[in-house]
C-alpha cells in the first residue's frame, strides 16, 4: 500500500475541550493516513471523538497537539490565507441531518452556490449557474430545482442537495459525518450508491464517519475503530470484520444485529470491559499484527 | 405461544387527517391481531403509517386526525369509539404504554428522574410517599439502574442516552401495562447500548408477561426481537408472518425490495438495490396495489384492483396478486434467493 499517495496524514492528534481544571482530551494520540481514492471508515460509540476528528480536519475545531497534513502541507493551527482558502475548497463536509443542515430560507440555488460565492470561485454569473446546474445533475436532481426551497424536498433529496453543495467546490476529500443515519432504509441505499458512483467518476476520497457498522462494511475500504478518543484498531475492512483483535472491536462487531432470525437467536454479545487492561502499568503500543492491520495493545496481551 | 390469546384486534381501521383543508388518509383499512405475550415488529419506511397506527391504540392522534371507521377491540371494548380524555385515561399507561424514540426529549429536564418515575407509580398504582419511593427503587433495579438511592435524586442531564432510555422504560413499566409499544426504541442509541436495551426489554417481557409491539426500520433489530413481523406500506399491512417467514419466504414485492436494499446483503463495489419512485400520495385515493407504481414488474390488475390477503400458511399472509392462482409465476429477485441460499436453512 506504500505506493499509494497519501492525501491526508494525521500525526499524534490531540483535541481538547473545556478550560483549566475541566480541560479534557476528546481525541488523544490519534494517527492515521488517508490514501487518495479510498474510503476510510471511522467508527466508535458516541463520545468517542469521531466527529471531533472530522471537525479538526476541516478546521472547525482547534487542535491542541499534533499535525494534520494535507498533500504534505500542514493545515492545522495557524496557516496563511491562501492555504486556508485551498483547504476550504478541497476538503468538504456532508452533515448528518439533511433536515437541519440546509438553510430553510434560502433557495437551492443559493445553498449550492454559497461555497463558490465565499471563495469567489467563478468567473461570471453564467459560469456560476453552470456550476450549480452540473452539481445538481451529478447528484441526480433536475437543474430546475434550483429555484425551490428546501422544505419542498424529501429527506433523500435534501441529502443529495447537501452532497451537491460540496461537489460544486470540486473537492478532493469529503468528510461524511453520519451521512445516512437520519435517512430511511430505502433511501439509504440510494445515497450510498450515489456516494460510490461519485467516488468512481470524480476520483473522490471519503472519510466516512458512522456508527452503523453494516453500512461501514459495505462502503469503506479501511476502517479505524475509535474508543474514548484513541484508535484501538485499524485495518482493511474485510480483515477487520473477519479477524477483529482488540476486545473493544470484538464487542462492537458482536453487537451488530444481523437480519436473520435464526442467527439472531443464538448470537452472543461480547461486552467490552476497559478494566481488563492495565494500561497504567503496561502502556499500550501500536502494533502491526499482520500486514496493514494495526492494534493498540500492551506487552502483556501482545 | 402454546394457545395464543388474542389481546388486541384491529379491524378495517381507517384514520384520516385534515391538513390545510385537504383530507389525508393515513391508514387504509388495516387489520391486525395481537396475541398475548408475543413480540410483533412493524416495519416500513417513514410515512407508511406505523406510528399513526399504533398511536391510535392509545388515543394519541394529533388533534387534526380521527378514526374514520373500523374498530380497535381491546378486552371487549372498542377503543375506536372512545371520545373523551377520561375514557382514554383508563387505557393509557395502565393497559397500553409507550416507549418513545428519543430519550433525550421524552424526559422532563427540570424534575429528578426518581420523581418522574414516582409520578407514574402514584398515578397508576395508587401508592403514596415512602411506599411509592420504595417501588421506584425496585423498578430501577428491574431496568438495570445501579445505585438507585443516588440515581433517584439525579436529573436527566446526569444520565447517558442508554441510561435515560432505561428510565423511560421504567416509567412505562411502572404502570404495569399489558401491552408495551416501543416506537424506534434504539434508533438514537449506539450499537452496544442498543443490544443492552433490547436484552432488557426481552427480560422484562418474560418477567411481566408483556406483549410488545416494536416499531422500527432496522431489520437487524427485527430479526433479533420479533416473533412476528408486519410490513406496512401506504397505510396498510401488506404482509404479515412469523419472522422466519418474512425473512426467508417473503411474498410481497415491497418486502422483497425492502430486504434487497439492506447494506448487509450488498456486495462491495456493486450497486445496492434501490426502490424507485416515491411513496404514494396519501391525499389521493389509491387504486389497486399501493406499491404498483414503484414495482417494475407490476401486473395489470395491480393498477386496477386492490389485492386481498392471500394465505401462504396459517401464520403468513400477504396482499399481492402474485399469490392468486391465476397470476403468472413471478420470479423472486436474485437477492432474495441469495438470502435463502446464503442462510440456506429454510425448508419449505
Choose the final residue of a domain: B211, B226, B241.
B226
pLDDT of A136 reads 93
Residue A288 has pLDDT above 70, yes or no: yes
Which residue has better confidence, B34 or A254? B34
Q: B188 contacts in A (CB within 8 Å)?
A: none
Strand B211-215 and strand B39-43: pairing?
Answer: parallel
Answer yes or no: do B222 and B328 share one domain: no
Answer yes or no: do B49 and B154 share one domain: yes
Which residue has better confidence, A44 or A110? A110
Torsion of CA B307, B310, B312, B313, to 10 degrees: 140
Residue A218 has pLDDT above 70, yes or no: yes
Query: Among residues A34, A98, A43, A103, which one has the least CA distance to residue A70?
Result: A34
Choose the final residue of a domain: B186, B208, B226.
B226
Of B191, B219, B247, the CB nearest to A256: B191
pLDDT digits (tens, 9 = 90+) for B170-195: 999 988 899 999 998 887 778 888 88
Looking at every residue in chain A, the average pLDDT score rounds to 87
Answer yes or no: do B222 and B274 share one domain: no
Answer yes or no: do B119 and B200 share one domain: yes
Strand B65-74 and strand A6-17: pairing?
Answer: unpaired
Does B27 map to a domain?
yes
**From CA A170, how far away is CA A92, in angstroms rounded?**
9
**From CA A166, how far away is CA A176, in angstroms rounded?**
10
pLDDT of A276 reads 77
pLDDT band at A287 (very low <50, low <70, confident <90, very high): confident
pLDDT of A45 reads 82
Residue B348 has pLDDT above 50, yes or no: no
Range of the domain at B222: 6-226
Measure A196 CA to nearest chain B CA, in Å: 8
Of B224, B261, B268, the CB nearest to A257: B224
Domain count for chain B: 2
Residue A74 has pLDDT above 60, yes or no: yes
Helix (H) or strand (E) holding B9: strand B6-19
Q: B223 vs A46: CB contact, 8 Å cut-off?
A: no
Residue B205 has pLDDT above 60, yes or no: yes
Answer yes or no: do B78 and B130 share one domain: yes
Measure B326 CA to nearest chain A CA, in Å: 31
Helix (H) or strand (E) holding B230: strand B228-233
Residue B90 has pLDDT above 90, yes or no: no
pLDDT band at B35 (very low <50, low <70, confident <90, very high): very high
Which residue has better confidence, B4 or A64? A64
Residue A255 forms contact with B (CB below 8 Å): yes
Q: What is the CATH number of the domain that holds B40?
A: 3.40.50.300
**Domains along chain A?**
6-297 (3.40.50.300)
pLDDT band at B96 (very low <50, low <70, confident <90, very high): very high
pLDDT of A265 reads 76
Q: B222 contacts in A (CB within 8 Å)?
A: 259
ipTM above 0.90, yes or no: no
Report the 10 Å Cβ neighbour count for B288.
Answer: 18
Residue A140 has pLDDT above 90, yes or no: no
Residue B271 forms contact with A (CB below 8 Å): yes
Q: A257 vs B194: CB contact, 8 Å cut-off?
A: yes
Measure A241 CA to nearest chain B CA, in Å: 12
Does B244 map to a domain?
no
Q: B222 vs A259: CB contact, 8 Å cut-off?
A: yes
Q: A255 contacts in B (CB within 8 Å)?
A: 191-192, 194-195
Answer yes or no: do B33 and B83 share one domain: yes
Does B264 map to a domain?
yes
- The string of DSSP letters for B77-131 reads EEGGG--SHHHHHHHBTTTEEEE-S-TTTSS-TTS-HHHHHHHHHHHHH---HHH
Choose the final residue of a domain: B182, B206, B226.
B226
Q: Stretch B122-134: mean pLDDT, rounded?
A: 87
Which residue of chain A has the CA closest to B229? Answer: A261
Does B87 map to a domain?
yes
Answer yes or no: do B121 and B42 share one domain: yes
Answer yes or no: do B27 and B87 share one domain: yes
Residue A141 forms contact with B (CB below 8 Å): no
pLDDT of A114 reads 92
Residue A162 has pLDDT above 80, yes or no: yes
Residue A69 has pLDDT above 60, yes or no: yes
Measure A81 CA to nearest chain B CA, in Å: 39
Amino acid at each position: 500500500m506504500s505506493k499509494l499517495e497519501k492525501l491526508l496524514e494525521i500525526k499524534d492528534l490531540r483535541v481538547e475541550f473545556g478550560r483549566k481544571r475541566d480541560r479534557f482530551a476528546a481525541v488523544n494520540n490519534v494517527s492515521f493516513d488517508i490514501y487518495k481514492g479510498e474510503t476510510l471508515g471511522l467508527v466508535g460509540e458516541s463520545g468517542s471523538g469521531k466527529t471531533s476528528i472530522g471537525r479538526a480536519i476541516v478546521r472547525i475545531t482547534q487542535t491542541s497537539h499534533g499535525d494534520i497534513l494535507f498533500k504534505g502541507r500542514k493545515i492545522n493551527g495557524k496557516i496563511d490565507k491562501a492555504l486556508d482558502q485551498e483547504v476550504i475548497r478541497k476538503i468538504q463536509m456532508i452533515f448528518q441531518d439533511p433536515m437541519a443542515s440546509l438553510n430553510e430560507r434560502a433557495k437551492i440555488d443559493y445553498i449550492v452556490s454559497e461555497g463558490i460565492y465565499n471563495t469567489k470561485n467563478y468567473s461570471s454569473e453564467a459560469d456560476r449557474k453552470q456550476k450549480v446546474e452540473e452539481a445538481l445533475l451529478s447528484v441526480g436532481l433536475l437543474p430546475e430545482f434550483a429555484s425551490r426551497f428546501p422544505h419542498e424536498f424529501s429527506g433523500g433529496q435534501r441529502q443529495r442537495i447537501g452532497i451537491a453543495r460540496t461537489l460544486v467546490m470540486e473537492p478532493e476529500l469529503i468528510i461524511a459525518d453520519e451521512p445516512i443515519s437520519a435517512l430511511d432504509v430505502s433511501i439509504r441505499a440510494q445515497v450510498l450508491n450515489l456516494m460510490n458512483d461519485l467516488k468512481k467518476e470524480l476520483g473522490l476520497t471519503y472519510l466516512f464517519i458512522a456508527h452503523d457498522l453494516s453500512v461501514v462494511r459495505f462502503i469503506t475500504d479501511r476502517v479505524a475503530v475509535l474508543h474514548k478518543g484513541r484508535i484501538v484498531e485499524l485495518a482493511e475492512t474485510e480483515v477487520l470484520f473477519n479477524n477483529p483483535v482488540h476486545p473493544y472491536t470484538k464487542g462492537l462487531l458482536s453487537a451488530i444485529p444481523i437480519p436473520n432470525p435464526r442467527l439472531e437467536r443464538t448470537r452472543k454479545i461480547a461486552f467490552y470491559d476497559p478494566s481488563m487492561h492495565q494500561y497504567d502499568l503496561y502502556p499500550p503500543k501500536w502494533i502491526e499484527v499482520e500486514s496493514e492491520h494495526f492494534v493498540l495493545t500492551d506487552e502483556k496481551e501482545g | 405461544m402454546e394457545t395464543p390469546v388474542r389481546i388486541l384486534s384491529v379491524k378495517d381501521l381507517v384514520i384520516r387527517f385534515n391538513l390545510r383543508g385537504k383530507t389525508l388518509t393515513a391508514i387504509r383499512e388495516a387489520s391486525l391481531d395481537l396475541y398475548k405475550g408475543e413480540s410483533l415488529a412493524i416495519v416500513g419506511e417513514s410515512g407508511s403509517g406505523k406510528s399513526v397506527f399504533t398511536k391510535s391504540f392509545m388515543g394519541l392522534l394529533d388533534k387534526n386526525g380521527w378514526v374514520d371507521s373500523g374498530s380497535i377491540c381491546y378486552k371487549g371494548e372498542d377503543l375506536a369509539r372512545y371520545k373523551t380524555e377520561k375514557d382514554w385515561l383508563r387505557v393509557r399507561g395502565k393497559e397500553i404504554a409507550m416507549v418513545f424514540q428519543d430519550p433525550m426529549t421524552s424526559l422532563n429536564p427540570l424534575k429528578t428522574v426518581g420523581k418522574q418515575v414516582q409520578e407514574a407509580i402514584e398515578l397508576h398504582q395508587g401508592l403514596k410517599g415512602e411506599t411509592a419511593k420504595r417501588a421506584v427503587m425496585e423498578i430501577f433495579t428491574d431496568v438495570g439502574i445501579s445505585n438507585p438511592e443516588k440515581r433517584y435524586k439525579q436529573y436527566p442531564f446526569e444520565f447517558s442516552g442508554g441510561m435515560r432510555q432505561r428510565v423511560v422504560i421504567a416509567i412505562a413499566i411502572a404502570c404495569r401495562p399489558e401491552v408495551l409499544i416501543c416506537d424506534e426504541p434504539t434508533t438514537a442509541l449506539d450499537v452496544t447500548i442498543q443490544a443492552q436495551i433490547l436484552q432488557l426489554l426481552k427480560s422484562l417481557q418474560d418477567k411481566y408477561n408483556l406483549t410488545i409491539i416494536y416499531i422500527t426500520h432496522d431489520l437487524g433489530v427485527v430479526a433479533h426481537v420479533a416473533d412476528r413481523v408486519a410490513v406496512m406500506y401506504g397505510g396498510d399491512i401488506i404482509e404479515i408472518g412469523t419472522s422466519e417467514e418474512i425473512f426467508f419466504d417473503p411474498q410481497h414485492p415491497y418486502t422483497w425490495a425492502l430486504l434487497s436494499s439492506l447494506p448487509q446483503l450488498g456486495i462491495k463495489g456493486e450497486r445496492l438495490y434501490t426502490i424507485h419512485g416515491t411513496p404514494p400520495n396519501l391525499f389521493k385515493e389509491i387504486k389497486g396495489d399501493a406499491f404498483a407504481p414503484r414495482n417494475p414488474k407490476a401486473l395489470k390488475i395491480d393498477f386496477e384492483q386492490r389485492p386481498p390477503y392471500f394465505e401462504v400458511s396459517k401464520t403468513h399472509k400477504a396482499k399481492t396478486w402474485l399469490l392468486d392462482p391465476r397470476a403468472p409465476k413471478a420470479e423472486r429477485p436474485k437477492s432474495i434467493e441469495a438470502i435463502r441460499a446464503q442462510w440456506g436453512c429454510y425448508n419449505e
